[in-house]
Amino acid sequence: MIKVYNGTTGKMAGTSHISVQTGDPETCKRCKVATICYAARYQRLRPVVKESYRKNGLEITSRIFEMDELPIVTNFQCRFDAFGEIYDGEKGDIQLTNYINIATKNPKVNFVLWSRNYKKIEKYFTENMKPDNFKLIRSSSEVDKPVYVIPNKHIWDGVFSVVSAQYIKDNNVKLNCGTKDEYGEKYSCVSCPTRCYSMDTETVVFEQVK
């Protein structure tokens, strides 16, 4: 059974996620932000959680599940691969098909997938439709190389870039992820004015390296 993770705190409070293991050589081999990867740091401190994501990844990529076997998501928004990434090859096809089917089964939930596996995503979604409650955000694969324009808009719904404090200062970048409300509390994705999980917005996001 594919596992849905709930009860997360911080940015993900109130947002479910369906994740696989971060740091799997099959998915994270190309990533140039590995040295600052928050997900990898988090997993190192929590081996039990890492093991759970590893098992979920095995499950998600094992076969295309029947609709009645797929999970019900109880929050109104859900992130695919809050941890981990889309696999290459057939495993990635199976993973993406299961994700599409989960979104189709949960039409009242808004799903967002952030990915750096551009090649796989673009190939798969050239050949396959995504449901209206499924948004794709292209994460930048390098720090301080922000992307301001969404490429291949027939595929991607947004772009997400990570920048350093020095780059922000030198280039006057206006951050819109990890910002704080009027009481000085960081927005969670549920309350964030950038609204990545809204299906009616194009999303161009900048976050400072943590």
CB of 85 to ligand SF4, least distance (A): 16
User: What are the two backbone dihedrals, phi and then psi, of residue 196, each rounded to the nearest 5 degrees?
Assistant: -55, -30
Query: What SS3 state is found at 41?
Result: helix
Q: Closest separation between CB of residue 180 and ligand SF4, Å?
A: 11
- Nearer of residues 38 and 187 to ligand SF4, judged by Cβ: 187
Residue 76 or 187: the one with the smaller Cβ distance to ligand SF4 is: 187
CB of 210 to ligand SF4, least distance (A): 12
CA distance 45 to 90: 31
Of 11 and 138, the one with the shorter C-beta distance to ligand SF4 is: 11
Residue 65 or 114: the one with the smaller Cβ distance to ligand SF4 is: 114
- State the residues that interact with ligand SF4 by CB under 6 A: 11, 176-177, 187, 189, 192, 194, 196, 205
- Tokens 């299906």 sit at which residue? 199
Q: Write the burial class of residue 179 (CB in 10 Å: 0-12 exposed, 13-18 middle, 19+ buried).
A: middle
Angle at 128 between CA 123 and CA 133, to 5 degrees: 115
Relative orientation angle of helices 38-45 and 47-60, to the nearest 10 degrees: 120
Residue 95 CA from chain centroid, whole number = 13
Instruction: Specify the residue, 101 or 164, whose C-beta has the smaller distance to ligand SF4.
Output: 164
d(CA 142, CA 162): 8
The two three-digit tokens of residue 101, written as one number: 């089917």
**Smallest gap from residue 139 Cβ to ligand SF4 (A):** 10
- Choose between 11 and 17: whose C-beta lies nearer to ligand SF4: 11
Query: Taking the complex as a whole, how short is the minimal distance between the CB of residue 82 and ligand SF4, in angstroms?
Result: 10
CB of 37 to ligand SF4, least distance (A): 16
